[in-house]
Chains A and B, each alone.
Chain A
Amino acid sequence: MLIKRTDGKAAKQRLASAYQGLSAGGLDRRAFLRQAGLGGAGLAALGAIPLSTMRPAEAGPMDHSKPVQRVKNICTHCSVGCTVIAEVQNGVWVGQEPAWESPINRGTHCAKGASVRELVHGDRRIKYPMKLVNGQWQRMSWDNAMTEIADKLMETRQKSGPDATFWLGSAKFSNEGAYLYRKFAAFWGTNNVDHQARICHSTTVAGVANTWGYGAQTNSYNDIRNSKTMIIMGGNPAEAHPVSLQHVLSGKEQNRANLIVIDPRFTRTAAHANEYVRIRPGTDIPIIWGMLHHIFANGWEDKEFIRQRVHGMDEIRAECAKWNPAEVERVTGVPGAQLRKVAEMFATQKPATLIWCMGATQKTVGTANVRAFSILLLATGNVGADGTGANIFRGHCNVQGATDFGLDVTTLPAYYGLDANAWRHWSRVWDVSYESMVARFDTPALMGTPGIPTTRYFDAVTLPKDQVQQRDNLKAMVVFGHGGNTVTRMPEAVKGLEALDLLVVADPHPTTFAVLANRKENTYLLPICTQFECTGSRTASNRSVQWGEQVVKPIFESKNDYEAMYRLAGALDKAAEKRNMPIRFQADLFKGIEVKGQEPVAESILREINRGAISTGYTGQSPERLKAHMANQDKFDLVTLRAKADAPAEIKGDFYGLPWPCWGTPEMRHPGTHILYNTNLHVKEGGGTFRARFGVERNGVTLLAEGSYSKGSEITDGYPEFTTAVMQRLGWDAEYTEAERASLARQGGTASWATDLSMGIIRITMEHGVMAYGNAKARAVAWNLPDPVPVHREPIYTPRTDLIAQYPTLPDRRGFRLPHLGQTVQNRSHQVAPNFPIILSSGRLVEYEGGGEETRSNKWLAELQQDMFVEINPRDAAARNIRDGAWVLVSGPEMPAGKATRMKALVTERVGPGVAWMPFHFAGWFMQEDQRSKYPQGTDPIVLGESVNAVTTYGYDPVTFMQETKVTLCQIRAA
């Protein structure tokens, strides 16, 4: 028998050398790179620029005889926030090890996380700046690219005003990058700045914030381990957030908890549920009201919780009374007995949590859905305690942070909004005058008007000028880190992209934006590095902020987001000078931010955030504290996320990642807030109350909490939010320190808790055990929304035309500077439904993420999903003579006549009869046109396919303009 043979080494090496270069035979990837990497990527274009400026991508086996450096960063895919430990040797990322000490992922990853190393080898990354010249990609230098782009931007600005440029940011930014981009847009003078949250959880943020104060997951992935009942509705975390299932399934096992999945599709998550409820897509509100019908009928609601902490539940009760089991079954297809069982479990086997994702949010009734979900939690008293809460799983790695920092058309960083107070606050933080900021805008009115969201940018390009409520249509678009296939109505988007005067794509990959439209000129690609080549913090879904260290230097000629923005600001100054325009950018924009060379320093940006993002409690998370957490990850408890007794003093008692709100200055050592609105803890220990955002009373009824307060509070009842005036009334103003007093005086003597730059109000209220933001009731009725009490509205394209009259969508209206059609479109359903009889829904695959450009370029992931497909129920497939794995043509009601998308059929019972489902990560084929040749050479993703959004249709949430991706209609036929 052979046992390890060490003496045969020399001979083996000779043999082994024969394997090199055989990508199929041996295991040598350096040879592979030699073939596929730089060499293939356009040697012809290298031209004048010497090769030495290119940092070649290298990978290879680790040399065990040399030292290995271990660097911690955070996975750049979903919002779970898994720690990645990179092994670096000689500046090359050679290996990845499990991060056992991370309390979030505990060493584990999903398919994407386990293959992130591939991202920085970057076979298919953009390697240098490029532009389209007569339809051909041409290499250029960074300086030239910046000069040309800046010049065109200033030209647009001169002709059409600042609002003619659309700044599309990214949930892939670090917090510092997101903040800087929002600040950049502010200094440009527009609110037309958005990012993926628009198409992800914008309705969640709107719905939840309008209910109890903050737009975020209330608890954490880890805390789900405490739940006795979990409902996952409109989410498939097994594929979208696989590592979260570690906590869900552990909780399920250890507590013998109920795991209920409510979804139109029998997902990989549903396979692990105790109870699966299949609903008709687009009927979430009837399901929730149907559950509450049983809960109220049986008295299972938490009466004390409602009395103390909820406003307006009686109106909900009245609405739910209409949803008797028969009507619920008629609308949703769910039998009454099953729903009763689920309702009983949720209301009585507590603590219970409700987990949702894009199945709830990406709807024309997205905000209303989220509101209904929140109300179910309130009615059963499942908010603000261990194992309860709205566990909203966010999408991208930093979509929470990017939302918090205002990559949003409706607000400045940290949800201050767009009113004058907000602008004044941030002007103070930025150390510029409010008036100078006003001067940057077209009009003061537009400064306070929400901008154009990413779901409608192309409408703002192509609609008649008089229908767009700003000086001119959109003329230029700058896209940082965003796919072009993630927004519905792609055939319309193509028209919009083609009409733009300027398109700039700054991304590690070309993205669909670069190839979708038939642009010939004025299109630029800037190579941006991944977050693994960058330093900065990112906020996971549970609000924990994690610091990532740069693993390797940016590969090729890519730059990080900070540097790209710094360079662009400088180039804009020069362009403005050239055109004799008085506006300048770089100096004011980076005032107070340390810049090394051309690169703003992440720590310095975070410190500016710490000074200004008071409202959300992004003030205590100094770079030093975050780094200490990363260095001592093993000291945090798995379930409570709290640093254990053996932790070093600098982190003792902290919650992992200082989940916001982390009040006051870093020196105040607030531990962060693991569970929002948790009255069982002192505010200094991360406790809290529902936020008083909506006044103190309405129609003579108090909006403040009654008899409920956080532990140790000196005020044992509800109270409004704190201002200098309230402080004075209570006599607490005597407790200001000299420095705080001086700071307040500089602000003019008055401030609210959120604009008090000294943070004295927060410090003092915390000492009194009181929440500076007040102690109110959560709102079951949100009177400022189109539907104060959520009501069922049929999807805008529905096969149940019989229900339209009873449950119509909202009438046509306007919003976000644009017209918004509702009933006009829905009324077409009567003609559309007979020809497009199948409901089309969409969602995620575990292997890919978002628009998929990055993950489809990762060869380990691409191998696992090589074809775009549509899931069809066997009954529908049989009726159409479609076999599993065969090619099919799918067309939608808004596609150009005679056009169809071509993909493979996956005949499965995952979807019910009359429902089809597609993954949304594919692009590169557009209505049967293969666009591979339009990518710059060597940057085409390995796998291309039709985009679901070539088929998806009109439909927007009235509150946030969230797009409808989950319910539309389509027709499928064998190809």
Chain B
Amino acid sequence: MARMKFLLDAERCIECNACVTACKNEHEVPWGINRRRVVTINDGKPGERSISMACMHCTDAPCAAVCPVSCFYTTADAVVLHDKDLCIGCGYCFYACPFGAPQYPRLGNFGSRGKMDKCTFCAGGPQADNTQAEYIQYGSNRLAEGKLPLCAEMCSTKALLAGDGQIIASIYRERVQRRGYGTGAWGWRTAYRETVAI
């Protein structure tokens, strides 16, 4: 079984936000819910880098660890998913997540955060694959169709890689070796407790 991961090559990311709108468009994600976002550090200064970030589908995922209702589960492809019917919108996963991935629709006046929503690695939810019900709650299930997350597939500069961790790491490794410089795989150390050895 593959171990699915995201890898962001900050040498390539230009903050074009294709990943963001591809995600929105593919899953019909409403305003205010940002499953993926691009953050620019050192904006306007030498050393400026843009990084596209979403749920990294961590090894030993903090969200799953702190969830009071245990609504998270990990698929055979190591994608970290959750069951919205079990989620109570407590917000704990957001406190624990290093990447700010969990998102909550604002429902009531206070306290009543809606069910948490986050990147599914385009792998849908607990329902039967590619059913209407799954789509409405989680968006489409590309993995079940043999496709990869659309954000990575549509990344304008191929900065965002998604797929089996070993394969994307080797693509990245080859890239870094050819160009002779690199800025590391953002979030890998935090998410997967490992780095891409060059």
Contact = CB atoms under 8 A, between A and B. Distances in A.
The answer to whether A binds B is yes
Interface size class of A (residues with CB under 8 A): 35 or more
A269 interface: yes
Given A238-B15, A846-B17, A24 B105 contact: yes
A106 B140 CA distance: 22
B164 interface: no
A238 B14 contact: yes
A23 interface: yes
B126 A242 contact: no
B44 A114 contact: no
A245 B14 contact: yes
Given A1-B73, A61-B136, A117 B17 contact: no
B157 A114 contact: no
A846 B136 contact: no
B43 A117 contact: no
Interface stretch (B22-30, B93-101, B187-195): B22-30
A424 interface: no
Interface string B131-155: 1111111111000000100100111
Contacts of A24: 30-33, 105-107, 114
Given A24-B114, A98-B153, A253 B178 contact: yes
Contacts of B22: 109, 114-115
Contacts of B32: 24, 863
Contacts of B17: 110-111, 846-847, 864
A6 interface: yes
Interface string B5-24: 00000011011111111101
A83 B105 CA distance: 34
A6, A19, A27, A908 interface centre (most CB from chain B within 10 Å): A27
Contacts of A27: 27-30, 135-139
A716 interface: no
B153 A107 contact: yes
Contacts of A4: 75, 126, 129
Given A25-B107, A266-B45, A860 B21 contact: yes
A29 B28 CA distance: 7
Interface in B107-138: 107, 114-115, 126-138
Contact of A271 (B49, B73, B135, B178): B49
A64 B139 CA distance: 13
Interface stretch (A10-18, A437-445, A764-772, A807-815): A10-18
Nearest to A7: B128
A908 B130 CA distance: 45
A8 interface: yes
A25 B114 contact: yes
Contact of A253 (B127, B155, B179): B179
Interface residues of B, number: 67
Contacts of A8: 126-127
A519 B136 CA distance: 45
A272 B14 contact: yes
A268 interface: yes
A20 interface: yes
A50 to B, nearest CB: 30
A98 B18 CA distance: 12
A2 B14 CA distance: 38
B154 A271 contact: no
Contact of A6 (B28, B114, B127): B127
Contact of A25 (B44, B115, B140): B115
B157 A245 contact: yes
A302 interface: no
B21 A115 contact: yes
Contacts of A911: 44
Contacts of A9: 127-128, 131, 133
B59 interface: no
A113 B150 CA distance: 13
Interface in A1-52: 1-6, 8-9, 12-13, 15-16, 19-20, 22-29, 32
A362 to B, nearest CB: 22
B137 A109 contact: no
Interface in A249-304: 249, 252-254, 256, 266, 268-269, 271-272, 276
B57 to A, nearest CB: 15
Contacts of A111: 16-18, 20-21
Contacts of A860: 20-21, 24-25
A266 B42 CA distance: 12
B18 A110 contact: yes
Contacts of A335: none
A97 B114 CA distance: 30
A246 interface: yes
A25 B31 CA distance: 10
Nearest to A107: B153
B28 A25 contact: no
Given A25-B114, A27-B137, A113 B18 contact: yes
A246 B158 contact: yes
Contact of A23 (B30, B40, B140): B30
Nearest to A105: B156
Nearest to B148: A98
Contacts of A113: 18, 154
A787 B12 CA distance: 41
Contacts of B131: 9
A262 to B, nearest CB: 15
A96 B43 CA distance: 32
A482 B40 CA distance: 33
A49 to B, nearest CB: 31
B34 to A, nearest CB: 8
A12 B11 CA distance: 43
Given A108-B154, A114-B22, A28 B16 contact: no
Contacts of B20: 111, 860, 864
Given A25-B107, A268-B50, A861-B21, A253 B175 contact: yes
B18 A12 contact: no
A118 interface: yes
A859 interface: yes
A357 interface: no
23 contacts: A2-B83, A3-B75, A9-B133, A12-B127, A12-B133, A19-B136, A24-B106, A26-B136, A63-B132, A95-B140, A105-B156, A108-B18, A108-B157, A110-B17, A111-B17, A111-B21, A246-B157, A254-B179, A271-B50, A272-B11, A908-B44, A909-B45, A911-B44
Interface of B: 11-12, 14-22, 24-33, 40, 43-46, 48-50, 73-76, 83, 85, 105-107, 114-115, 126-140, 147, 150, 153-158, 175, 178-180
Interface of A: 1-6, 8-9, 12-13, 15-16, 19-20, 22-29, 32, 59, 61-64, 95-98, 105-115, 117-118, 238-239, 242-243, 245-246, 249, 252-254, 256, 266, 268-269, 271-272, 276, 846-847, 859-861, 863-864, 908-911
- Ranked nearest first, the 9 interchain pairs of A and B with the lowest CB-CB distance are A910-B44, A242-B16, A111-B17, A253-B179, A24-B105, A114-B22, A2-B73, A115-B21, A61-B135
Given A12-B85, A61-B136, A64-B130, 14 more contacts: A16-B137, A19-B137, A59-B28, A61-B135, A61-B140, A97-B147, A98-B154, A106-B158, A108-B157, A238-B15, A268-B50, A271-B50, A859-B31, A909-B44
